[in-house]
Amino acid sequence: MSEQIRFVLDESQMPTHWYNIVADLPTPPPPPLHPATHEPVGPDDLAALFPPELIEQEVTTERFVEIPEPVREVYRQYRPSPLIRARRWEQSLGTGARIYYKYEGVSPAGSHKTNTSVPQVYYNRLHGVTRLTTETGAGQWGTALAYACSLFGVECDVWQVGASFDTKPQRRTLIEVFGGTVHRSPSRLTEFGRSLPEDHPGSLGIAITEAVEVAAQDDSVKYALGSVLNHVLLHQTVIGEEALKQLELAGESGADLVIGCAGGGSNFAGLAFPFLRERLAGHQSPRILAVEPASCPTLTRGEYRYDFGDTGGMTPLMKMYTLGHDFVPSPIHAGGLRYHAMAPLVSHAVHEGLIDAVALPQSECFDTALGFARTEGIVPAPESSHALAQARRVALEAADAGTEPVIVVGLSGHGLLELGAYETYLAGRLEDDPLSDEDLAAALANVPTI
C-alpha cells in the first residue's frame, strides 16, 4: 500500500449521472400521502412547490439520472471532492484501521449542501421561477441555496431556526454575502409564524412550514428543501460515486464500514447508497451505519410511521422514522441533525435491515472532533463529528482486536463558522441532553394515525 494521502479524481472523472437507489431496493418504499385525503400524492399535488424535473426525480424508478451540463459546470468549481486517508489520525488512535474521509467541506458553502442546491435552483430557473424560499437549521443549507441562487439570478428567502439565528450571526452574514435574505423563524411574515411566540427557539419543522406557506401563495415563488426528499438524496449520490472510484485508486477492494451522520439523511444517503448498490450486487460487503445525536434519536428511538415533514402539517405525509412533527429537540450544536424525522428512503432501508443506526452524545463527538482537527488539520462541522466519533469507536475496537478494517467516513462539512460551539466545548460548558422517555412519548402522541 502506498503512503499516498489524498485520492483525487480529475474533473473529467466526475460522475455524469446521479444514482437512484429505488431501482435496486428489494422492496419499493411506501408512497407519500396527501395530508388531507391520505391518498398517494400525484405530480399535481407537488406542482405548487417544485418544478417538473424535481417532481419526476421524486418518483422515478430509473437507476441513473443524467446530471445536466450547466449543473456539472458548477460542480466543477469544487468537485470531485477529495477522499483523504486519515493517516495521522489513525496513528494517534493507535489503530490498524484504514480510515478514509470523503471531504465535502471544499464546496463554496463549506458542506455537501451545494450538491443539491445547484440542480434545484437550475431546474427552477428553467421554469421562470424568480424567487425560492427555504428553511435552514445550522445555516449550511441556507448558505448553499443562496450561493446557487446567486449563480442563476434567483432571489432567495431563508427562514433560519430561531435558536440558530440568535447564536450564529456570521452564518446569517454569509447567506447575505451570497445575496440571500434571512428571516428569524418563527417570523411575523407568515400565518403559522405569527401563531407562535416571537421569541420561540424555532425548529426545522416550523421553518419549513413558514417557507412552504410563502411559496404556496405565489406561482413565481417555489420552495427548496435541503434534505429528506428523494430528489435531494439523489443529487447527493455524487459523493458516493466518487468515493467508490477513489477507494479503488487507493488500492482497496471495498469498504468494511461506511459511516455518515444523519439529520434529514441526505449526506449519509449520498455517500452510502452507491455503496449499498455495490453490496446488493455482491461486489463488496460494507456494513453501513447512520449516526445521529442522542438528543434527536430519530432512527434509534423514533417510530416508523406516516408523519408530516413539517410542524404545521402542510407537507405530504411520509412514511419515515419520526419523533413526532412537533418535536423540538434540545438546542445541541449540530443544528443540522435536529430534524424530527428521517428521509423516507433512509428510513425504509433501515426498516428493511439494509442499514444500521447508532445515536451518540455530542460531548463524545466534540472530543473526537478535537483529536481529528489536531491531526488532520480540518475543523469538522459538529454534524460531521458524529460520523467521526463512530469511526473512532470502531477504530479503537479494531486496535483492541488487532483487525484492520477499511472505514469510509463522510466528512460532510467544515466547522469554521461553528467556532462558538467549539468555544463552549473548550470552556467545559457543553452539556449532553439525551431525550427522556417522557419527552419522546409526548412528542409521538401527536403523530397522525393513518
- 315 near ligand PLP, rule: CB under 6 A: no
For residue 287, give the H/E element and its range.
strand 287-293
Q: Is 380 helix (H, G, I), strand (E, B) or coil?
A: strand
The alpha carbon of 109 is separated from its chain's Cα centroid by a whole number of angstroms, namely 14
- 240 near ligand PLP, rule: CB under 6 A: no
Binding to ligand PLP in span 268-287, by CB under 6 A: 268
Which whole-number Å values give the CA distances from 61 to 20, 24, 29, 118, in the listed order? 7, 9, 11, 22
Q: Phi and psi dihedrals of 97, rounded to 5?
A: -60, 145
Closest approach of ligand PLP to the CB of residue 119, in Å: 15
Q: Which residue has the cell 451570497?
A: 178
Number of alpha carbons in the 13 Å side-chain half-sphere of residue 127: 19
Binding to ligand PLP in span 358-387, by CB under 6 A: 381, 383-384
- 162 near ligand PLP, rule: CB under 6 A: no
Q: Which residue's CB is nearer to ligand PLP, number 80 or number 336?
A: 336
Please select the residue that binds ligand PLP; options are 35, 137, 316, 331, rule is CB under 6 A: 137
Closest approach of ligand PLP to the CB of residue 226, in Å: 6
What are the percentages of helix, strand and coil residues in the chain, rounded to 5?
40, 20, 40
Residue type for position 92: S
Q: Which residue's CB is nearer to ligand PLP, number 250 or number 354?
A: 354
Q: 84 pairs with which residues across the strands?
A: 6, 101
What is d(CA 261, CA 250) in angstroms, rounded to the nearest whole number?
23
Q: Which residue's CB is nearer to ligand PLP, number 95 or number 134?
A: 134
Q: Which residues contact 272 (CB under 8 A, 6 or more apart)?
A: 240, 258, 260, 288, 290, 355
Q: Is 329 helix (H, G, I), strand (E, B) or coil?
A: coil
Binding to ligand PLP in span 94-123, by CB under 6 A: 111
- 302 near ligand PLP, rule: CB under 6 A: no
Q: Which residue's CB is nearer to ligand PLP, number 405 or number 410?
A: 410
Interface pattern 327-346 for ligand PLP (x via CB under 6 A): ---------xx---------
Q: Phi and psi dihedrals of 132, rounded to 5?
A: -120, 145
Please select the residue that binds ligand PLP; options are 50, 141, 178, 306, rule is CB under 6 A: 141
Bridge-based pairing of strands 287-293 and 356-360 is parallel
Please select the residue that binds ligand PLP; options are 117, 120, 133, 140, rule is CB under 6 A: 140
Please select the residue that binds ligand PLP; options are 9, 84, 86, 138, rule is CB under 6 A: 138
Stretch of 122-130, 132-140, 182-190, 397-405 contacting ligand PLP, by CB under 6 A: 132-140
Which whole-number Å values give the CA distances from 397 to 24, 95, 360, in the listed order? 32, 8, 16
Please select the residue that binds ligand PLP; options are 146, 261, 317, 430, rule is CB under 6 A: 261
Q: Which residues contact 380 (CB under 8 A, 6 or more apart)?
A: 105, 369, 372, 373, 388, 411, 413, 414, 415
Q: Is 256 helix (H, G, I), strand (E, B) or coil?
A: coil
Closest approach of ligand PLP to the CB of residue 121, in Å: 17
What is d(CA 364, CA 234) in angstroms, rounded to the nearest whole number?
31
Closest approach of ligand PLP to the CB of residue 267, in Å: 3
Closest approach of ligand PLP to the CB of residue 388, in Å: 11
Buried b / exposed e over 219-257, threshold 16 CB at 10 Å, is eebbbbbbbbbbbbbbbbbbbbbbbbbbbeebebebbbb
- 294 near ligand PLP, rule: CB under 6 A: no
- 262 near ligand PLP, rule: CB under 6 A: yes
Buried b / exposed e over 159-196, threshold 16 CB at 10 Å, is bbbbbbbeebeebbebbeebebebbbbbbebbebbeeb
Please select the residue that binds ligand PLP; options are 203, 267, 298, 390, rule is CB under 6 A: 267
Q: Which residue's CB is nearer to ligand PLP, number 45 or number 383?
A: 383
Stretch of 18-26, 174-182, 256-264, 440-448 contacting ligand PLP, by CB under 6 A: 256-264
Stretch of 3-11, 93-101, 212-220, 266-274 contacting ligand PLP, by CB under 6 A: 266-274
Which residue sits closest to ligand PLP, CB atoms considered? 336
Q: Which residue's CB is nearer to ligand PLP, number 250 or number 271?
A: 271
Interface pattern 200-229 for ligand PLP (x via CB under 6 A): ---------------------------x--
CB atoms within 10 A of CB 388: 28
Please select the residue that binds ligand PLP; options are 186, 340, 412, 422, rule is CB under 6 A: 412
Closest approach of ligand PLP to the CB of residue 4, in Å: 26
Q: Do residues 356 and 287 lie in contact, with contact meaning Cβ atoms separated by under 8 Å?
A: yes
Q: Which residue's CB is nearer to ligand PLP, number 272 or number 354?
A: 272
Residue type for position 3: E
**Angle at alpha carbon of residue 369, lines to 364 and 371, rounded to 5°:** 100
Contacts with ligand PLP by CB under 6 A lie at: 111, 137-138, 140-141, 227, 261-268, 336-337, 381, 383-384, 412-413
